[in-house]
Amino acid sequence: MDLENQARIKSFAEQFGNEDFMVVLGGGEAEASALAAETVTNGDLTYAVSLAGVQLGFKAYPIFA
C-alpha cells in the first residue's frame, strides 16, 4: 500500500472513527492484498510511513479475482 493511500485511510479514521468503517481491497496478487489488509488493521510493520505503529483496527476484506 503506497504512502498516499495510507495517509488517506488514516485521515478517514481520524475524521469518521473506525467502528463503522470497512476497507475492501482488490489486487492482482493475494499476498499484496493480504499485506494491505494487515496494514489497515495492525499498522505498517516497516515503521517508515503514515500508518507506522498505528493500529486502526479496521475490518478488511481482500477480494481476489
Number of neighbouring beta carbons within 10 Å of residue 64:
11
The residues with which 60 forms a beta bridge, in sequence order, are 23
Q: What is the rounded CA–CA span in Å between residue 24 and residue 62?
A: 6
Whole-prediction pTM = 0.69
**What phi, psi does 2 have (nearest 5°)?**
-75, 170
Note the pLDDT tens digit of each residue in 36-63: 888 888 877 776 667 777 777 777 776 6
Note the pLDDT tens digit of each residue in 21-35: 777 877 777 788 788
Number of neighbouring beta carbons within 10 Å of residue 36:
21
Q: 37 near 5, Cβ under 8 Å? A: no
Q: 24 near 10, Cβ under 8 Å? A: no
Structure-model confidence comparison of residues 6 and 47, the more confident one:
6
Domain boundaries, the chain: 3-64
